[in-house]
Structure 1
Amino acid sequence: MAIDVTRCSLIPRHSTALLSRALKALAILTLFVLAACGDREPHQGSVLREAQKRGQLRVVTLNSPTTYYEDREGPVGFEYDLANAYAHYLGLDLTMQAEQTIEGVLQAIVEDRADIAAAGLTITKARKDAMRFGPPYLQVQTRLVCSRKGPKPKTNADLPGVDIRIAPGSSYVEVLQKLKDEIPGLEYSISENVSVESLLVQIGKSARFCTLADSHVFALHRRYLPELTSPMALNDDQPIAWALGGGTSWRPISLERNMAAWFAREETKALLETLNERYFQVADNSFDYVDIARFRRAMRGRLPVFRPMFEKTASRHKLPWELLAAISWRESHWRADARSHTGVRGMMMLTRASAREAGVTNRLDAAQSIAGGGRYYARLLRRLPDGIVGEDRYWFALAAYNMGYAHMMDARILAGKNGLDPDRWRDVREVLADLENPEIYKDLPRGYAHGRQARDYVAAVRNFYDILRQHTQKNPGP
């Protein structure tokens, strides 16, 4: 979205900065106008046809945890996975161009350096006037995000006087301008050359200003930055979609139609459910400020002592070491002497029976406990039916680790009886609470089980696992 130069009085009154911002806004606005007018070389054809000729689908995105980033296994992210699936559907190679700011993404799309902008873009009036969009695939709210030690506005009337800073080119300019027309005294500033994510990092380190972020972006980032809080939403649900190259001319029409057909496919709908759960739902449903804050402190303190043990065991069983570390944190908070009233002990909180099965002679020895817990978890993985595939195998094995393999199989039986897929964790998770219902568990082979506890256990481990994977990208270790 271009910054509205007719409202440049909203920007702090520093003449040099004002002139610089106005010129930049004018340049971007000019690009939008050219895009809308279809001012392109006469030989260019439709965006889809040109992509097919190249054999490549060019996608511009943001380098961020919610869109696209590189981990040790290669490129990942919600937008990357979705764009990769669409490129495969088209039979084209995928080329990703990562920008650091929304301004960079929008500039790439209006300059025809990309066929699609897949960057969590909200459909706003200004953007819709300048470019076409594909079908919406997420609904989000715009939320005010502050530090726990910062301002705590609860209603619109509390917003005047709050230091609000937003990223340039974001949809939040329109959101705040609309509110400014309704709320006397509301002010905000546009920070130069920063992304939404960088503003969130500053606030997460106790900066006293506030910013705006989409609800799913906030939910994900507060796992890594537990000092973030969101006291209020500023609007109702807003659609997110891919922006198409070619402006509002005829050139993106065939791509728009093709994309609409792809999003309408049942396979795409299932993929969106999977991606939403993988990247956003765990973040939204598993936040515990106290535990996350304690976890992040322990990552700096205790984890370096035990990391070589997790890595050694994980390598032996071809598992991610971060997953074993996440299990151990959920079990014992990485305390070798941890004990429970139920009799489980150690880093991986093994029972006597599971310790014997895993060859552990001293459950309070950290190295033995980690090795034994990893061995036990790997055995559970191997026992799973072949129909369970991908990362779902991890989650089913986690449920079995928590409540027992037989009870996990009971949950699969119950899912099947309810018309759900017993090989999909998302489906089986929905029936776990029913393992505590006498009218239901009386007909199951193993009877009652702590189903809710197992459901929450898996969600918590997945949350810690994801935080650790993000940490590993920045701290790869020896």
Structure 2
Amino acid sequence: MTTASPLIQRWRRIALTLTGMALALWPIDPTPLPGKALEGVKSRDFITIHTRNTPLTYYEGRHGPTGFEYQLMRRFADYLGVSLDLNDDHFVPSVLDAVRQEGDIGAAALPLDPDDPELMYSRAIMPMQPIVVYRRSLPPPRHIDDLVGLQIGILRGTGISRVMHELQQQQPGLGWKEASDLEAAALLRRIEDGELDAAVIFEHQFRLNRLFFPEVEDGFKVGDPLSMAWAFPSNQGLGLIRAANAFFDDLKTSGELDQLIDRYFGHDDYLEYVGARVFIQHVHQRLPRYDALFREAARREHFDWKLLAAIGYQESHWNPTATSPTGVRGMMMLTNATADEVGVADRLDPAESIEGGARYLRSIEQRLPEDITGEDRLFMALAAYNVGLGHLYDARDITRKRGGNPNLWDDVRDALPLLQESEWHSRTRHGYARGGEPVIYVRNIRRYLEVLDYVDRSQQQFHQLNARLANHPENETFEVVPPKP
């Protein structure tokens, strides 16, 4: 094999780092370090990926591990036919250190960085746009000049430091603080608590977190979008990075990558923002009065207590004396007939109402056909809690007539609004129903549940983070980058 000249080798390195398009031109390193190249991964039958415990990357959800990049990691391990070994005890700088020293891959919302000779990067997974976020009580910043004099925080290693230094060339009066051992949610918390005035994070990070920090608002975009990519040690050969690029090509071609991006980042409008702010306020102010009741009812009926709490909020905003014009009352908004069915004597008693609502939901779930399983079963039970079991069965019949699968919530969800159209409800057993309402009902409960899960998980993470930083004074958490003289 002819050895390429140093100039050609340098050009190939640049092309690989920036786009990944030149990988097909490079031969696989014939002598990769043991355990580092693709052959090593396959021989030991597992791949080690270094990541972070964040909503964007990887976290433990209600049904096990999840997160956007976790979904990619798991699929890539399956693609290679090996097990997945995750190390999530990292912030961005330590992810990169671990990849340099240990391999195999870093996957942690990492920016593609062409300047690190010890790392190579996959082709871009998705763009990451830096934006300014700020405390709502401040005058809205609209330009970098408006940032001068503000206490601004960023996360080191995310690529935003480079963006800030470029901005400082335009506005020398700009200064900021950089943290290596925090995450985006911690910056937003510090803004809301008044420790920072603003931060520069990625747009998708703010969209994922904005519901939980209602006093933080987005300002304006800064710099060009960066590219999220996976990092690989530059000394391990090219087999693994080639495999990763082929994997991403397949995901892109099939549309699965776009579907995952939309699933994790495309639903910011599920809750109207003002309503979301009210919800978070009620999580802190109202829910603590009743969470023990939700937990006890959930224990009895074998539900997630946060699911029952989400239903209670959708029904009454956790108001035990709520009454609708149609006569349903209480925390879980039970009718007289339903209250009698589940043994509730006083619908305005929060303990009875929550217990009765849990029993009613369980009774609906038990009456569904056995062919409906998993989350489809839960979502249909929630829809029936709102619109009635008879109308749900009618929607399943419409689904079947339209060629859909009556056991899948996605198909039944599309059929429910047709109960409002005479062309369809005239052919059903139970007739007209406001079928759009259960669709919104289930959607909102799912979103409320996501928020409650996140709040619960964030509290645990904040406790863990505080324990890790207990002996870190503020000047150790942040490194100050002052304005230029």
Aligned partners of 1:256, 1:402: CA distance in 2, in Å? 45
Matched, 1:115 2:101: no
Per-residue displacement from partner, 1:381-412 (whole Å, max 9, x unpaired)?
A: 23334444333332222222222233334444
| Residues 256 and 79 of structure 1, relative CA distance in 2, 3 Å threshold | closer
Matched, 1:406 2:390: yes
CA contact (8 A) 1:48 1:254 kept: no
Correspondence for 2:10: none
Q: Which region of structure 1 is more displaced relative to structure 2, 95-104 or 445-454?
A: 445-454
Correspondence for 1:470: 454
Letter in 2 for 1:219: R
CA contact (8 A) 1:149 1:208 kept: no
- Unaligned residue ranges in structure 2 (runs of 5+): 1-16, 18-22, 462-485
**Pairs within 5 Å for 1:66-215:** 66-70=56-60, 75-111=65-101, 113-123=102-112, 126=115, 130-134=119-123, 136=125, 138-154=126-142, 158=146, 163-179=151-167, 183-184=170-171, 187-193=174-180, 194-215=182-203
Aligned partners of 2:215, 2:393: CA distance in 1, in Å? 39
CA contact (8 A) 2:152 2:196 kept: no
CA contact (8 A) 1:144 1:234 kept: yes
Per-residue displacement from partner, 1:217-271 (whole Å, max 9, x unpaired)?
A: 21221222222211333467665343344469524344325523653585x82x9
Aligned partners of 1:120, 1:259: CA distance in 2, in Å? 18
CA contact (8 A) 2:320 2:349 kept: yes
TM-score (norm 1): 0.77
Aligned partners of 1:125, 1:436: CA distance in 2, in Å? 57
Correspondence for 1:371: 355
| Residues 155 and 258 of structure 1, relative CA distance in 2, 3 Å threshold | same
CA contact (8 A) 2:122 2:241 kept: no
Count of residue correspondences? 435
Correspondence for 1:20: none
Higher radius of gyration, 1 or 2:
2
Structure 1 runs of 4+ aligned residues shifted over 6 Å read 38-41
SS in 2 for 1:153: coil
Letter in 1 for 2:343: G
- Percentage identity across paired residues of the two chains: 34
C-alpha deviation, 1:184, in angstroms: 4.1
Per-residue displacement from partner, 1:422-473 (whole Å, max 9, x unpaired)?
A: 5443454455555545566555554543344323322222222122223434
**Pairs within 5 Å for 1:22-61:** 43-44=33-34, 47-61=37-51
SS in 1 for 2:211: helix
| Residues 217 and 432 of structure 1, relative CA distance in 2, 3 Å threshold | farther
Aligned partners of 1:165, 1:375: CA distance in 2, in Å? 48
Q: Which region of structure 1 is more displaced relative to structure 2, 62-71 or 405-414?
A: 405-414
Letter in 2 for 1:256: A
Per-residue displacement from partner, 1:170-227 (whole Å, max 9, x unpaired)?
A: 122344455555x545724241323333212211324442212223321221222222
CA contact (8 A) 2:420 2:433 kept: yes
| Residues 128 and 376 of structure 1, relative CA distance in 2, 3 Å threshold | farther
Aligned partners of 2:288, 2:211: CA distance in 1, in Å? 20
Equivalent in 423, 431, 443 of residue 459 of structure 1: 443
- Unaligned residue ranges in structure 1 (runs of 5+): 1-31
Matched, 1:220 2:204: no
Aligned partners of 2:341, 2:135: CA distance in 1, in Å? 47
CA contact (8 A) 1:134 1:244 kept: no
Q: Which region of structure 1 is more displaced relative to structure 2, 125-134 or 222-231?
A: 125-134
TM-score (norm 2): 0.76
Aligned partners of 2:153, 2:159: CA distance in 1, in Å? 13
SS in 2 for 1:391: helix
CA contact (8 A) 1:165 1:188 kept: no
SS in 2 for 1:131: strand
Matched, 1:273 2:259: yes
CA contact (8 A) 1:131 1:248 kept: no
C-alpha deviation, 1:350, in angstroms: 0.8
Per-residue displacement from partner, 1:291-316 (whole Å, max 9, x unpaired)?
A: 44444444344433322322222122
Letter in 2 for 1:373: G
SS in 1 for 2:346: coil
